[in-house]
Chains A and B, each alone.
Chain A
Amino acid sequence: DGGITQSPKYLFRKEGQNVTLSCEQNLNHDAMYWYRQDPGQGLRLIYYSQIVNDFQKGDIAEGYSVSREKKESFPLTVTSAQKNPTAFYLCASSIRGQTAYEQYFGPGTRLTVT
């Protein structure tokens, strides 16, 4: 079955630690995205990547970093510089072309930092 996987589903960290969230897709999609969701709010874009070895900052990139070494994988690192990291993190992917705006999401990772 094709899809997007995010692991783990729940993640707990102490303040001051970096943490890496995994996102893998086997849909052969070119573009991948990371969003942050806070309660009662819409989705805010952290980083996105249209092709391998290239990525751009979204609206709230400060305190986050990404890499795109493989088409299938787009890990997100939440660094200790992120002031308020507790949130629900969503990874998405899309195909290039006419339906490029149709993004497909993974199940999300809920990060709690104390």
Chain B
Amino acid sequence: GQQLNQSPQSMFIQEGEDVSMNCTSSSIFNTWLWYKQDPGEGPVLLIALYKAGELTSNGRLTAQFGITRKDSFLNISASIPSDVGIYFCAGPRPRGNYQLIWGAGTKLIIKP
């Protein structure tokens, strides 16, 4: 079935580094969503994208809707300890009545 491929699976970074992650789909999307989940909590919506080529920022986070409409990217600038968590991408399930399909997540870990 429809899947979202999210990479990398995990990232070990130093505080202050910039972070990039991406998500690809086998079919065209008209919406991309990025969420962050802290340990033991529910995911929180970070950014929603609705137009191919769109670049949207939320503080130090920037997400882009790929022009092919089959991918999306999330960048975090100057990472801080509270950025630790799992980042998920999600998109509309084809013919899915407002259901979402989800990537497996990118786990961000800050090196001590």
Contact = CB atoms under 8 A, between A and B. Distances in A.
Given A43-B102, A101-B98, A103-B100, 4 more contacts: A42-B88, A88-B40, A101-B33, A102-B33
A45 B99 contact: yes
B99 A100 contact: no
Interface string B38-52: 001111110010000
Contacts of B33: 101-103
A52 B58 CA distance: 34
Interface of A: 4, 6, 31, 40-43, 45, 48, 50, 56, 58, 88, 90, 92, 94, 99-108, 110
Overall SS of chain A's interface: strand
B85 interface: no
A100 B98 contact: yes
A10 to B, nearest CB: 10
Interface residues of B, number: 22
Interface of B: 4, 31, 33, 40-45, 48, 88, 90-92, 97-100, 102-105
A80 B31 CA distance: 37
Contact of A99 (B41, B48, B103): B48
